[in-house]
Amino acid sequence: MNIKKGDTVLVIQGKERGKTAKVVAVNPVARTIKLSGVNIGKKHMKARGSKAAGGITEVAMPLSVSKVMFMCSHCNKPVRLGKRNTSVGNKERICKLCKSTV
């Protein structure tokens, strides 16, 4: 999975289409991500004594990775990511449009 925590992505499908957000959490097994301020759902919480009050809280719901595109910081466009080997032997992510390192 090319998307990592802290990346900026553009939502390309669904009711939140066109919004840009930062990735808060990644689940590579389920291939889902959570974004800040996007795809917010309501969760009904039961009161847990004096620790937490009950009520309805807003929670970021998971979104499929296939519904977002990475936003390149150099060309400022939604792009696909590629990988390139460095001279040390490590892999780095690159923008397929402007060929810059992400």
Whole-angstrom Cα Rg for the chain = 17
Number of domains present in the structure of the chain: 2
Determine the Cα–Cα distance for residues 4 and 73; give it in Å rounded to an integer. Answer: 14
Check: CB of residue 20 under 8 Å from CB of residue 71: yes
Which helix (H) or strand (E) segment holds residue 60: the answer is strand 55-60
Residue 64 in tokens: 């499929």
Check: CB of residue 80 under 8 Å from CB of residue 71: no
Predicted pLDDT of residue 83: 93
Residues 82 and 32 in one domain: no
- Domain span at 37: 8-71
48: pLDDT strictly greater than 90: no
Predicted pLDDT of residue 54: 87
Q: Nearest 5°: phi and psi at 44?
A: -90, 120
89: pLDDT strictly greater than 90: no
Residues 53 and 102 in one domain: no
